[in-house]
A and B are shown apart, each in its own frame.
Chain A
Amino acid sequence: MKKAKAEGKKVRGAGARHSWSRCFPEDDQFLVSLYPAEIASEKCTTGDLVNYAKSLAGTPRENNRHSLCSIIKEPFTYEGKTLARIGAGVSNEQMRAWCIANGLQYKASILIVEPSFVGCMSTNSHGSGITTQPVPDIVYGVEFINCEGEVQVIDKDDYHHNAKSLVQAAASSLGLIGIITFITVELEPLKFAHLIPSIKSPELLIPKPDVTTGPLFERFKKAVHDSYSNWLYFPVEGKNVYENNFEAVSEIPPGQKL
């Protein structure tokens, strides 16, 4: 950032694997990726990313061979909240594996695993589920390098500066505040998902607007209030709606397996 400022250039933080917009840097400017070089490269496959996640799962993060920003610090408790400090180079696949290994979870994030968790936060990504909010809403603190090249840290406990709204603004900043290096997120105890995916005729899963009572409408209401709600329709198939909902449960019933 300091070099860019001295040379009058722009710095753009690179996203990974999920953008259909033409977000390219201009020539002769700076592009920063916080993924390791082999993951950030053009030829990265999902397999590379899975191996990347495996290389970090269950090992001390401080001593890994990747960059500082790939660190997930061990979870800690502060005023009754379970928090974890996550580097900007940590992918969703890593977060998924790490959360399962540590008995923790977050309620909502995007469906795909390749982008970084911090990237999902700063682009205001969302998941699904009527009780869940977009990713920036679970953020507790943000650390970033501002346009002067200085490290700034804000967290929600700094009430002297109305920090809660500052964190909310920084977490949803769309890349405008600088290069985010770490965030602290609030996590909750790990649960299980109970799925009964179904493929049925559209009228059976999502009743027509004039149907506002009856068993089909009650079923739809229940589906809306599931922990996760997702309906898909493939026009080429053209017959059915694919309902991919699930309910969060604390324990798996006896006789059932993962």
Chain B
Amino acid sequence: MKYVEILRNYCPQLGVFIFSNPTLMFSGKELYTYYPSAIHYFWGIHNIRVRNFETCFNVPSIDGLPDYQLLQKIWWAAMDVVNRNKKVVNMVLEMRLFKGSECPLTLQYKFDYVCTMEIARVTTDDVEPEWNAVIEEIFSEFGKLTSAKDNKPGTHIGLLSDYPSALGKGVARFSRCQQAHA
């Protein structure tokens, strides 16, 4: 991680986020760094213009452990759609996990565990209709996913946000998903 620190401190103009991603620079190597440096490893991301789409899943706890199979389903559902639409989704598919929140206005309030799936494309040209079609496709696939805990499709999507559109658009899509799978 020494090189990341050098880049961060002395070449900040090279701060495009891929240079700071440890997987890209140090795959297979064993590294140690300070914990705060390891969690804050992106910088310069505001220089990249993207269309971004993030879904937040409520992953239920089964016997005190997260529903691993739901995580696998989420990843593969997203990856299959992205692979069918590589021309439109040209940036990244990213999955992260964390615990639910106790703060009432957070999106993850009282979730057991949370899985977020972020999908982004670089906005070098206007492919708005195609992008919207991909979102609909991914959303339709996510709506079919079930957890072994309750086996009800469409019940584990906590939020769907679609930037830079207004949040309302995403919420509307969420509502439609619930109706479709009710």
Q: Is the CB of A20 within 8 A of B69?
A: no
CB distance from A190 to the nearest CB of B (A): 6
The contact string, 1 if C-beta is below 8 Å from chain B, for chain A 129-164, is 111111011000000000000000000000000000
Q: Is the CB of B76 within 8 A of A238?
A: no
Stretch at the interface among A32-40, A65-73, A92-100: A92-100
Q: Is the CB of B24 within 8 A of A242?
A: yes
User: Which of the four size classes fits the interface of chain A?
Assistant: 35 or more
The contact string, 1 if C-beta is below 8 Å from chain A, for chain B 113-141, is 11010000000000000000000000000
Chain B binding surface SS class: mixed
Closest to A106 in B: B36
B residues within 8 A CB of A112? 17, 40, 42-43, 45-46
Q: Is B171 an interface residue (CB 8 A)?
A: no
- Say yes or no: A193-B32 contact (C-beta < 8 A), given A128-B97, A168-B104, A258-B1: yes
- Residues facing B in A71-123 (CB within 8 A) are 92-93, 95-96, 99-100, 105-106, 108-114
Q: Is the CB of A195 within 8 A of B72?
A: no
| Chain B interface residue count, Cβ-Cβ cutoff 8 angstroms | 77
A240 to B15 alpha-carbon distance, docked (Å): 24
> Pick the contact of B103 from A137, A228, A238 — CB < 8 Å?
A137
A113 to B34 alpha-carbon distance, docked (Å): 15
B residues within 8 A CB of A130? 66, 97-99, 113
Q: Is the CB of A235 within 8 A of B22?
A: no
A132 to B164 alpha-carbon distance, docked (Å): 28
CB distance from A37 to the nearest CB of B (A): 18
Q: Is the CB of A246 within 8 A of B38?
A: yes
A residues within 8 A CB of B9? 50
A residues within 8 A CB of B86? 235-236, 238
Q: Is A204 an interface residue (CB 8 A)?
A: no
Q: Is the CB of A93 within 8 A of B40?
A: yes
CB distance from A165 to the nearest CB of B (A): 7
Q: Is the CB of B108 within 8 A of A193?
A: no
Q: Is B30 an interface residue (CB 8 A)?
A: yes
> Pick the contact of B12 from A47, A134, A192, A209 — CB < 8 Å?
A47
Chain B contact residues, CB within 8 Å of chain A? 1-2, 8-9, 12-13, 15, 17, 21-24, 26-46, 50-52, 66, 68-69, 71-73, 75-76, 79, 82-83, 85-86, 89-108, 113-114, 116, 163-167
A-B contact pairs, 22 of them (CB 8 A): A21-B164, A21-B166, A50-B12, A99-B36, A114-B45, A114-B46, A129-B97, A130-B98, A137-B102, A174-B105, A195-B32, A199-B28, A206-B72, A209-B69, A209-B72, A224-B68, A230-B96, A242-B23, A242-B24, A244-B21, A246-B38, A256-B30
In the A-B complex, the 4 residue pairs with the smallest Cβ-Cβ separation, listed nearest first, are A193-B38, A20-B163, A172-B103, A47-B12
Chain A contact residues, CB within 8 Å of chain B? 17-18, 20-22, 45-47, 49-50, 92-93, 95-96, 99-100, 105-106, 108-114, 124, 126-134, 136-137, 165, 168-169, 171-174, 190-199, 202, 206-209, 211-212, 217, 220-221, 224, 228-236, 238, 242-244, 246, 248-249, 252, 256-258
Question: What 9 additional pairs, Cβ within 8 angstroms, besides A96-B40, A195-B38, A197-B27?
Answer: A106-B36, A110-B40, A129-B97, A129-B98, A133-B98, A206-B71, A206-B75, A238-B83, A257-B2
